Every structure is written in structure tokens, then in C-alpha cells.
Structure 1
């Protein structure tokens, strides 16, 4: 029987967190069958034999494409058997009604990507972040809209293999691959979301990206070059320039931090990331401390 949804979980060296994520997917309140494709990136394939999938299917495999998150997700997309593909990070989880609530959104042919609200669990407690019901390209140019988290994404398999395209494997360190996918989806149609916190995002542990400042610099610079639409949104461009400035500051490259902070403030004098970048570049505070403080409040850089 063809599964209703294929859930792609890219993973690396997180066996216990992975099991938590898979259990939450197996617990979904849907009538159809779910296929879970586990893609192990740079770590041994674990069949998760201790988990009983019941009527669902768990398919473990190795990443056969570019090393990293983008290649691992694409390996899963290309192996998917279902007409729909969902993503879930290996350190996140879903509430039982997540899929059932968002599946109807894709009944609308104008919707290219469906998401849900998120519940962030951090050292500062729980924080619910609810996205708008409908998002267009202009909205995403102005703001990343972090409420649209990749662990909540649901898309048509044919779109990922066709007009939308796969996750961009050329992105340095795969940083910003979810934002790139949102921008491309909004260029084709609409991004829709269920305004309920049905996806749990864990910020109570160190992210692989929290200290990869060079990857952030290169990844966001790549996105600015790839999407010329940012020329239409000084506010959105300033936000990304401020993030690049902050990453340079965290790297100790004050001259570069000052350069990018200046660009950011020329585009938007109110851009807070530029000011934070200058503080980090002057070593008044560390980048890690700033990110930890933001995460504790359910916010990101």
C-alpha cells in the first residue's frame, strides 16, 4: 500500500534524540500509512530495531549525495514512496495532531508548502510561535518568519523532484537551506500554515550550527547572491547583512563585522543585529552568550 506521507529525517550521531523524533512521528493521528526515511549522514546506519513501527514503515539508509543536511534530505526525498514529503529534524518532535491538521492545506493547488506553528523548548521554558496562515514572497523577503520551521514542512514529492527543486546542496554548510526553500516555494505559489504549535523545536541543547560562524557567513552571503529579489527589500537585506556581521564578530573579524554592520545600518538604521554585531566584535560580549540568551527567550539570531 502506498504511504500517505514520507517523513525524511536526516541524522548524525544522535541516537536517543532520533528515537524520540521517530516515536513522535509514529504517534501521528492519521488514517493512512506513514513511511519514515532515516538518512544517516556520516554515521553508521542504525535500523532502530528496538522501535516497533506497527502499520508504518521505517527505512534507514546512508546519505548518498553531498555530505551534510541538504544532501541527506535530498537522499530521502529521492527515496520517498509517498506523494507528500515532510521533514523533521532529528532533535525535534511532532505533537500527535500535526499531520492531520496540515494535510488539508495542500488540497489547495496554490499552496506549495505547508507548515505549522512551533513550540520552542529552551532553557528559559516553553515559547509558542505561531506563523501567519498565508505567506507570500514579499513577506519572506522582509522577514525570515522563523515560526516557519523546517521540522514542520510538508510538500508535494513531485514539486521537490520537479518545478521547486531539491534542497540546495551548494549552500555552504547547508546553512539557510530552509529559508532558500521557502523563498523558492513562495516564488511559485503560497506558503500556508496551521496557526497551532504542533511541532516541538528543541533549543535546550547546542545546535550543530550555533558555533559554525564561518558557515553562517558563507551561507547567508550565498543566499543574497542567489536571490536578487532582496534588492526590493532593504529591510530584509539589512536583516541578513546584520546576521553576517554578527557571525564575523563572533569569529573575531572586527573589520568585516564593522563593514557588514555598516551595510546593514545603511539599509535599516533600526536593525538590531548590526548593533549586536558591533558589541560582539568589540568583545563586549561573546556571540555564544548572545545566542544562548536569545534562545532562552524562544528567539534566534
Structure 2
């Protein structure tokens, strides 16, 4: 059995997916197969992948587009590896990613791990190391993902391209087909409910291309705050009251403010109070979202974006 299967969904981005594949082939852990799932007929991408001389590469083509989550499921079902490592087509792995994460998994002795690591965020102004933190003992997955304890960007980020999990877990708990946004968080919440546990590797091992630099096969669903509120409502049983309120007042409010829909203020506040337990920082961030000028918030975000890395350093 192959140790690890890398699963990369893609559509209409031949140059980017070729770069992602190269980052997978460069892994120091070589017992690896690379499965690219082309989500719908895409002759240009298929040709670009066919030109890569790599015996560990397998290319699957969906007859019709099924979306990012189900494309990952297609790759998982076809995989031969004990472990699945996801990689988005516009992201990259650093060479020792899988080696370090498998070592952390072995040291943890966790039966069903969701292994992840901090990321380097690549944007137009260079690379930033987001200051993510380890999980706390006994911390609910929903609180790690959604509850802010500081103003730092990336504090509870679990990027899809950092995740390593057993194939058996992903077969039992697949990605939700048809879900546009929050695919990774949705899967993590359901996997945690099935007994999976976070395993944190402290090294920065994955490069994430910041929004605005890409247009992924899931990005079209990124702006409707009502869809986001509906999603967390459907997953209410998988999140704590604290996490539910934080998601509404911070994440959903950000989408509403971006659309200029001030009717969301009362809706989100009432629901967070009714069915959640808002924290002080949630309330502060919620108020600031509607009161503080956009320009000031953008400048503050840049200052809190993470450690600026010298050119070429990750």
C-alpha cells in the first residue's frame, strides 16, 4: 500500500496545477502517489498534466463539473494510500511537509488525526507567515476554527492544503457534495463529531495564495452572507454556543458588511444572542465591522497579517 495519496482538484488552471504537482513531486517523503482530479472536460489542463514526466501522477477527469468538495471525494475513492493529503491547485507544499506531518502523527499516537500546520500567505506584497497557534487541550474543533482570542490574522486557520488524514476517515466522512463555501470547516466539524482529533505541526509547510490572487472552483460562492448564516445554522449541533456566536458576529458579519447589507446587523446580533454565547472580542469586532472606516480596517489588517518574510524565505 502507498503511504500517502496527494489529492489535487483543478479546473481551467493548467499552469497553477502543474506548479502544485511539482511541489508534491519534490516531497522528501517519496512513498507517494499524486492524484489530480480535473473537474469537467478541460483539454488544456489535461495536456499540461500529460506533459509532466512523473510515474506517480494519476489524472482523473470528471465528465461533468461536480465542485471542489466532490472532486476531492473522487480522488479519495480512487486513492491507494493509507493517508490522504489535500492540495489546492493554486497552493504549494514545501519539500518536507509530509515528512514532518507524518512524524507528528506518529508521535501523537492519535488514531484518527486531522493533521495540519501553519501557512505562508502569498500575496501581491510578498509572503507573510500567519501566526496560527496550537490547539489547546480539550478545545472543541469549532472553537479553534471560529473563536478569536486576539486580533492576529490566521489564528485558527486550518487550510485545506495543510490537512493530512486517514483515507478510512475520509471514506466514512466525505466532503459534502455541492457545498460552495466552508468546505474544509464543514468536513472538519463532521470529522471531529466522528472522533477525529487535531494534530498540530508547528512548522510552516504550505504556501497559500491569498484571495484576490486566484479564482478557484469554489470561490463563486464567497459573498452571500445569508448562505453562510444558513450553513452554520444547519451545523449548529456540531458547534459550541461560543463558536456559533463568534461565527455569526465575525465571519458572517464580514460578508454582510462587504455587500453593504446593513439589515444583517439586527439579524445576526439577535441570532447570536438567542442561540449562541458571544464573547467580548466578538462584540467588539462586530461593532467595528460597521463603524470603523474600511480604509483604517484595511491598514490594521495589513499590520496584523503576520510576520513579513524576506523574498524567497518560507
What TM-score does the superposition give when structure 2 sets the normalisation length?
A: 0.78
Q: Say how many residue pairs are matched.
A: 283
Q: Is the 8 A contact 1:135 1:190 kept in 2?
A: no
SS in 2 for 1:167: coil
Distance 1:295 1:78 in 2: 40
Structure 2 residue ranges without an equivalent (≥5)? 146-154, 307-314
Q: Is the 8 A contact 1:246 1:257 kept in 2?
A: no
Q: CA deviation at 1:291?
A: 7.3
Which stretches of structure 1, 4 residues or more, deviate above 6 A after TM superposition?
289-293
Give the match for residue 305 of structure 2: 298
Matched, 1:110 2:111: yes
Q: CA deviation at 1:65?
A: 8.0
Matched, 1:68 2:33: no
Give the match for residue 238 of structure 1: 245
Structure 1 residue ranges without an equivalent (≥5)? none
1:148 to 158, 181, 187: 158
Change in CA separation of 1:228 and 1:292 when aligned onto 2, cut-off 3 Å:
farther
Q: Is the 8 A contact 1:36 1:58 kept in 2?
A: yes
Q: CA deviation at 1:13?
A: 1.6
Of Structure 1 and Structure 2, which has the larger fraction of its residues in strand? 1
Q: Is the 8 A contact 2:86 2:164 kept in 1?
A: yes
Distance 1:98 1:136 in 2: 24
Q: CA deviation at 1:251?
A: 2.6
Distance 2:21 2:190 in 1: 28
Give the match for residue 40 of structure 1: 38
Q: CA deviation at 1:294?
A: 3.9
SS in 2 for 1:13: coil
Higher RCO structure (Cα 8 Å, ≥6 apart): 2
Change in CA separation of 1:41 and 1:258 when aligned onto 2, cut-off 3 Å:
farther
The superposition leaves residues 214-273 of structure 1 with CA deviations (integer Å, 9 ceiling, x where unpaired) of 2x541453133224243x432x22221122222223233221244214544772343254
Q: Is the 8 A contact 1:117 1:196 kept in 2?
A: yes
Q: Is the 8 A contact 1:39 1:75 kept in 2?
A: yes
Distance 1:61 1:207 in 2: 21
Q: Is the 8 A contact 1:9 1:87 kept in 2?
A: yes
